[in-house]
Amino acid sequence: MRKHLYLFSILGLLIGFSTTALADLILADGGPTGQWFNPERNGEGFYVEIINTGGNQQIGIAMYSFDADGDQLWVVGNVPIGPDDEVVQVPVFQFNGPSWGADFDSDDLNTIEFGSITVRFPTCDTALFSVAVEPAVGLSGGSYSLIRLTDIEGVTCVEPPSVPTGITPGRWDGDGVCFNVAENGMSITGAGSTCANGAAFAANMFGVSEDTGDCSVEFQCPSVWPIEDGSFECLNADGDLVIGQFDSVNSASGLAFKERGGANDYCVAVWSASPDN
């Protein structure tokens, strides 16, 4: 889980990669605005608001929960969003200090960095939130599958495009990538693959590193890796990872991560591919 959280946090490095391939709700359309919760965690919830201030759009998130002692805990934050954003990481903060009523004094306000909430909305009524907590807070993070509790009158939510079915089997190629889709279109597989070393997915391309800039991504993923909800990932024994998403039956894109030896030290490349007809 730590590796996946880190990979999502560095997506901002990759200017050429568009999260529209995830086929989630486009945040700027306003559809996610409302209250969200998990029915199995009644008493805890999230409020989401898409804000337009002078033509600049932001997403605001509030989380209402409880701390380790059972006391109420709420955190809030907001971050700018682009016209096509579907996945964003929102820094969130706790506040304390002022007193209720006539004794309220804004000079007493304390701001505490709590962590961040990464949000995506696969449909108008479902959400996936990942909460990362700063170590100093002393609480653990986690992932949340949520459903809509309320919507906002006058705000229309349009469902994202459906996940493609009938993905073209056989070899797929792109600039520096090759992978093999199984005959049933439900996995990428090394069986019958003509990619390097008969791999399910083979990468040989240039990428970027957060620390050192230009670098190279070269590795293969073996075996069989399922395609679920139009997406897949494969991981080899060296810790190298590929994530991919099918935009259509004949188009796919994603990211490849080459572990470089240090903790959370990766060379990252953007890829796209289509069937080799």
Question: In the chain, which stretches have pLDDT less than 70?
Answer: 1-23, 162-163, 210-213, 261-264, 277
Give pLDDT, residue 28.
93
Q: Which residues contact 4 (CB under 8 A, 6 or more apart)?
A: none
Distances (CA, A) of 31 to 97, 127, 153: 34, 12, 11
pLDDT digits (tens, 9 = 90+) for 13-63: 333 333 334 468 999 999 999 999 999 999 999 999 999 888 899 999 999
Is 0.75 topped by the overall pTM? no
Tokens of 41: 């965690």
Q: Kindly report the three-state secondary structure assignment for every residue of the chain.
A: CHHHHHHHHCHHHCCCCCHHHHCCCCHHHCCCCEEEECHHHCCCEEEEEEEEECCEEEEEEEEEEECCCCCEEEEEEEEECCCCCCCEEEEEEEEECCCCHHHCCHHHCEEEEEEEEEEEEEECCEEEEEEEECHHHCCCCEEEEEEECCCCCCCCCCCCCCCCCCCCCEEEEECCEEEEECCCCCEEECCCCCCHHHCCEEEEEEEEECCCEEEEEEEEECCEEECECCEEEEECCCCCEEEEEEEECCEEEEEEEEECCCCCCEEEEEEEEEECC
